[in-house]
Chain A
Amino acid sequence: MRISHITIRGFRGFNDAQDIVFDPRLTLISAPNSYGKTSISEALEWVINGITSKVEQADSKDEYKGSYRNIHLPSGQNPTVTLVMNDGAKDFELRAELVGDVTKRFHGGVEVAEWPFQAALAKSPNPFILQHALKDLLLVTPGERFDSFARLLGFSELGQIHKDLISLCTKPPMPPRVKSLLGDVSALEERVASRQQFAQITKALRKGLDGMDGAYELIEKRCNEFVTPGTPRASLLPQLLAARDEAVKKIFSGTIDLRPFSPEEETANASDEQFIAKALTAELIAKYTSLIKLKAIKHVNDLVELYGAGERLLETDPSICPLCERPLEEEMHEHIHKRHSALVEQKREYGELDKDRVQVERVLTDLETRLQHHHGRGSRKVGPLIALETSLESLRSLLVPKHQIHYEAISQAIVELKAAKTTLDDKYQAVQGEIETIRTSMRDSEEGTEKINSLSTAISAYLASAGDFKRVLKSHSAPVTEAAQILKHELDSLAGTQDVSILIDLLEKRDAIRKRFLVDGVVEELKDLRQRVDRFVSQIMLDAISGEFGAEVMEWYGKIRTTGDPDVHFAGFDIKKTAQGGRVQIKAHSYGKDLVSAVSSLSESKLNALGLCISIAINTKTPGIFDFLIIDDPIQSWDAEHETKFIEVIKDLVARNKQLILLSHNDQWIKQVRAACAELNGAAYEITSFTETGPHISPTPWAEVEQRFSTIKGIMENPQADKILIQQGEEEVRQVLTQLAAQLYLKATGIKKSTNNLNAAKTRELLLAGSVPVDFANKLVSMFETVDDAHHAGNDYSAHRDRLHTYYNWMKDLQKRVKQA
């Protein structure tokens, strides 16, 4: 895939739309620095990759936000870059348009989510060889260089795997519970290590899991020094606890404990809160308020019983009323029966209300139970600490002034927790009161909306205060726990129970210590994994860079290698394995002796040359979808000899069928390239100035007309000139024709035309605009039938010396007209 043409509008340095036609083989663009040269390579990168490498590699993307849009582009217009590409068979258009921060893509005018070659793009070597990218490759830390080489060599996935696994192994994320366990055990180990008399235990524990049994034999032996002789192992801990308590309580008898809710308690709290918050559903409220109807049920029940009894009595003697003993008509019988049936139906309806009543009562009971559990859980958490309020003076004497901050942590926690608990208790009582009110209303058939609403409000207030309570508890838990530890050590110190206390902790935390060693084992496994991953990735990289690739880089480097300067040169690649991982080593030698590193030994120009060779080698050895290379300012910091040498690289790349687009700040070097590659007749441009509208790009003839005439004459006068040379002469004639036509057009219209894409028809237009007679113009452009590139010529095309003479004379006539115009 080659690039035929680009139009840039409103992107980076470009404001007004500008076109550049690329030669299929070699295009040269020269411009002083800051004239918009790099905007061209960035425009190409942006369309193809969706991002410029400068932005992609930036540490802070924010700094580049909005940088694609030209600052002078009128609002309402979008930065747009259009490429015409050629896949060898046909041209196709790619257009990228920046709408806000979104890049829209159009393939052949149709918007697409991605380019048709997107999948292959990721696998193709990067055809953009840019100065800043070369610096990122070489002049970076060894670790970064490893990543850069991995990317360059197409090992980005391997590099990602390496990065991800190393990151996990270096800083393994620990769950909070594990962190807490490690912290607890470490603190205990520090205390053990601080006591000279526990030196042997410390030594044993340092052996890890393998040393645990031995350590606990020593621990139990020490324990026996503090308990009744002959105490069985199972009784060691209770005896030590009792001994310590007895000693310590002479100084202070309270317990400081403020643990946060455990995960299980959190789950229970959440479940209770959800029930409490959702207990009063709309359906339940409706059922409660409808219970008022039950007030009428007693009367109905009485009537049902009365009419029922009447009906039963009438079965015995239907002619007499059983109540007043007067005679009864048949009509009255009918009435009594109907009335009884209606009352029975009414009673049945009220029976449904009874079920509702049972349900409301059940919900109230459940609500009460949940509230009780929820409130109790909170109360139990803080009760013991709040109870210490009366012992604050004792605490002060123990902790102040040495541990004032911890004393204040405890006293402050007591004040705030007490206030929070008081509020919670009040709200709890309020909810209970409202529940009782509801119950009473149901008992007295005085249900009302305002009563159930009051309960709902009380519940909301309770839940809000429960939230506050939990926040206060959480905020004080850690400081109080820390203060408790300090107090414990202080008490042990005063009571002389430090060793007993350590032994108690060692016995109590035996399982925690064992688990800590198991966690340590996992951490060791991670360290080992890191080393294995480093070795694995390094080996793959080493195989890649020290084999054919290294030879290819060396071959290109050999082409640029100069002889006039000191014999200090690149000598290949290696992977150095270090504790920090794989490092790509760039080897160098000086007069046959190995140097430490090319990066520290080679001059900037040689490093630059090496960077270019690496990028070129990747592109020449790796299959990809692009046949072009865009090389931005390759000769920066180079001496004249390197500059000249690189022209051979350019020729070699073109010979290998690469389309080259070269940008340089050095117009003299560009002229040198044109002269050295005269036979290529590529496209050349010069950026002559830069204004608010953007860079002013002017096409430049590949060779001057007189130079071309001289070449043609030399060929005509060379009796040894073969057909290939004569064909080159004919190609020179075509170049002369288009250049003279453009000169004529410029004189006639003042408009400068590029000769890079002039075919017969376009050339004829220029000639006619320059007042060349039609017959002569037709004759001139007829040359295209034979001298246009061989692939455009007919099958019977053959270079011809006499024809070259004829064309030469026509061109001389045309040159006279140009001079006279």
Chain B
Amino acid sequence: MNPDKNMQNAESSLESPSHRVKYLNLLLDQLTSPVQKRLVGTYQKKSDPVKAMEAELGDILTEILDHED
């Protein structure tokens, strides 16, 4: 069984720590929207990904409010 067969360089059917990064990289490759990329990118990089992503969304929305145009 190889659940990662659509992933490049899949090592085994079991997830290793790097799989998380690989999944997110694959997902990022499929995204074009800057907002979506920012959110998923933040989720990928932070140790508390959910909170970080929520904070990033807060920043995105606050930027809209604070920018004049």
Contact = CB atoms under 8 A, between A and B. Distances in A.
A698 B24 CA distance: 54
Nearest to A150: B3
Nearest to B58: A175
B8 to A, nearest CB: 13
A622 B13 contact: yes
Contacts of B26: 536
A739 B16 CA distance: 48
B14 A123 contact: yes
Contacts of B27: 161, 532-533, 536
A35 interface: no
A750 B46 CA distance: 66
A421 B20 CA distance: 57
Given A154-B14, A158-B15, A532-B31, A165 B61 contact: no
Contacts of A123: 14-16
Contacts of B50: 164, 167-168
A532 B6 contact: no
A406 to B, nearest CB: 29
A549 B2 CA distance: 8
Q: Which of B3, B16, B31, B54 neighbours the largest number of chain A CB atoms within 10 Å of its CB?
A: B3
Contacts of A154: 3, 13-15
Q: Binding site of B, secondary structure by majority: helix, strand, loop or mixed?
A: helix
Contacts of B39: 165, 168, 529
Nearest to B14: A123
A210 B23 CA distance: 36
Given A165-B43, A536-B30, A156 B6 contact: no
B49 A157 contact: no
Given A168-B54, A522-B60, A621-B1, A161 B20 contact: yes
A178 B62 contact: yes
A638 interface: no
Interface in A527-572: 528-529, 532-533, 536, 539-541, 543-544, 547-549, 552
B49 A540 contact: no
A158 B60 contact: no
Nearest to A164: B50
Interface string B45-68: 000011001100110111011000
Given A172-B57, A532-B30, A181 B2 contact: no
B49 A164 contact: yes
A89 to B, nearest CB: 23
Contact of A522 (B19, B20, B64): B64
Interface string A87-104: 000000000000000000
Nearest to B50: A164
A519 B54 contact: no
A532 B36 CA distance: 10
B61 A175 contact: yes
Contacts of A156: 15
A173 B64 contact: no
B55 to A, nearest CB: 9
Contact of A173 (B13, B24, B49, B57): B57
A547 B1 CA distance: 7
B15 A157 contact: yes
B44 to A, nearest CB: 9
B36 A529 contact: yes
Contacts of A174: 61
A574 to B, nearest CB: 15
Contacts of A552: 1
A17 interface: no
Q: Which of B14, B20, B31 neighbours the largest number of chain A CB atoms within 10 Å of its CB?
A: B14
Contacts of B60: 522
B40 A158 contact: no
Nearest to B57: A172
Contacts of A544: 1-3, 13
Interface in A611-629: 621-624
B3 A153 contact: yes
Q: Which of B7, B19, B54, B64 neighbours the largest number of chain A CB atoms within 10 Å of its CB?
A: B64
B9 interface: no
Nearest to A178: B61
Given A168-B50, A178-B61, A622-B14, A528 B5 contact: no
A544 B7 CA distance: 12
Nearest to A618: B1
Interface string A127-169: 0000000000000000000000000011111100100110110
A258 to B, nearest CB: 23
A168 B27 CA distance: 16
A528 B35 CA distance: 11
A157 B30 CA distance: 19
B65 A547 contact: no
Nearest to B13: A622
B57 A168 contact: yes
A622 B61 contact: no
A793 interface: no
Contact of A175 (B13, B40, B53, B62): B62
A651 interface: no
B54 A173 contact: yes
A515 interface: yes
Given A158-B23, A518-B64, A547-B2, A173 B58 contact: yes
A525 interface: yes
Contacts of B19: 157-158
A621 B2 CA distance: 10
B51 to A, nearest CB: 10
Contacts of B65: 177-178, 181, 515
A143 B57 CA distance: 26
Nearest to A158: B23
A556 to B, nearest CB: 13
B40 A165 contact: yes
Nearest to B3: A544
Given A123-B16, A156-B15, A536-B26, A547 B62 contact: no
Given A158-B23, A623-B12, A525 B30 contact: no
Nearest to B27: A536
Q: Which of A161, A177, A621 neighbours the largest number of chain B CB atoms within 10 Å of its CB?
A: A161
A525 B6 contact: no
A770 to B, nearest CB: 52
Contact of A525 (B3, B13, B24, B36): B36
B30 to A, nearest CB: 6
A278 B66 CA distance: 34
B14 A157 contact: no
Contacts of B23: 157-158, 161, 540
Nearest to A621: B1
A178 B35 CA distance: 17
Interface in A653-699: none
Nearest to A529: B36
Contacts of A522: 35, 57, 60-61, 64
Nearest to B59: A175
Interface in A160-197: 161, 164-165, 167-168, 172-175, 177-178, 181
A646 to B, nearest CB: 23
A548 B2 contact: yes
Contacts of B40: 165, 529
A161 B49 CA distance: 9
A123 B19 CA distance: 12
Given A164-B49, A164-B50, A515-B65, A155 B36 contact: no
Nearest to A523: B61
25 contacts: A153-B3, A153-B13, A154-B3, A154-B14, A154-B15, A157-B15, A161-B23, A161-B24, A168-B39, A168-B50, A168-B53, A181-B65, A518-B64, A522-B35, A522-B61, A528-B33, A529-B36, A529-B39, A536-B26, A540-B4, A543-B3, A543-B5, A543-B6, A544-B1, A624-B14
Interface pairs A-B: 9 shortest CB-CB: A544-B3, A123-B14, A549-B1, A525-B35, A621-B1, A518-B64, A548-B1, A529-B36, A178-B61
Given A164-B49, A165-B53, 6 more contacts: A154-B15, A174-B61, A178-B64, A522-B35, A528-B36, A549-B3
